């Protein structure tokens, strides 16, 4: 991508694939950060590295399973300084298979939350995102 419009298009495509990509926000952080400062647009080496890693990742993406309503769902939450992520998995024959990935960047005020508050926010975000499915 050379101009802001191309980066916006890329970010939109990444966002539409977010349920298939684990920890999207962490991996694409440089690209999403670039969109916050459109006047200072400069495609950096970090952005290029994130872009290349996505191209490489998309050649072998994780295979998501359809949920089996007879088996329990497991929810894993990951909380860091800026991003929060979650994955829902099911265990079949002692192998956990992913069903859905969720991640998002925290807003400025949310970054100042205590870790337990960020964990609660990750849980609420996950519940809201998955409401149509359950």
Q: Decide which of 40 and 114 is more confident.
A: 114
Nearest to 65 by CA among 92, 85, 25: 92
pLDDT value, residue 112: 94
Query: Cα(76)–Cα(11) distance, rounded to whole angstroms?
Result: 25
User: Domain of 99: which CATH number?
Assistant: 3.10.20.370
Residue 125: what pLDDT? 94
Question: Domain for residue 67, yes or no?
Answer: no
Residues 89 and 123 in one domain: yes
> What is the per-residue burial (b if ≥16 Cβ within 10 Å, else e) of 2-14?
eeeeebeebbeeb
Give the number of domains in the chain: 2
- Number of neighbouring beta carbons within 10 Å of residue 40: 7
Beta-ladder partners of 98: 89
In a domain, 18, yes or no: yes
Q: CA-to-CA distance for 125 and 14, rounded, in angstroms?
A: 19
Identify whether residues 127 and 89 lie together within a single domain. Answer: yes
pLDDT value, residue 47: 87
Predicted pLDDT of residue 25 = 78
Could you give the angle at the alpha carbon of 61 between the alpha carbons of 59 and 63, nearest 5°?
140
What's the domain range around 114? 73-133
Establish if 63 belongs to a structural domain. Answer: no
31 phi and psi angles, rounded to 5 deg: -70, -45
State whether 39 and 77 are in the same domain. Answer: no
On the question of pLDDT at 118 being above 90, the answer is yes
């Amino acid at each position: 991508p050379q101009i802001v419009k191309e980066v916006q298009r890329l970010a939109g495509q990444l966002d539409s694939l977010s349920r298939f990509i684990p920890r999207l926000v962490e991996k694409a952080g440089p690209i999403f950060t670039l969109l916050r400062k459109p006047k200072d647009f400069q495609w950096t080496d970090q952005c290029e590295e994130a872009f290349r890693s996505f191209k490489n990742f998309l050649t072998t993406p994780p295979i998501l399973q359809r949920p089996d309503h007879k088996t329990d769902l497991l929810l894993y939450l990951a909380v860091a300084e800026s991003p929060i992520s979650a994955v829902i998995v099911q265990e079949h024959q002692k192998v956990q298979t992913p069903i859905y990935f969720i991640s998002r960047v925290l807003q400025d005020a949310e970054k100042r939350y205590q870790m337990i508050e960020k964990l609660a926010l990750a849980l609420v975000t996950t519940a809201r995102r998955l409401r149509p499915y359950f």
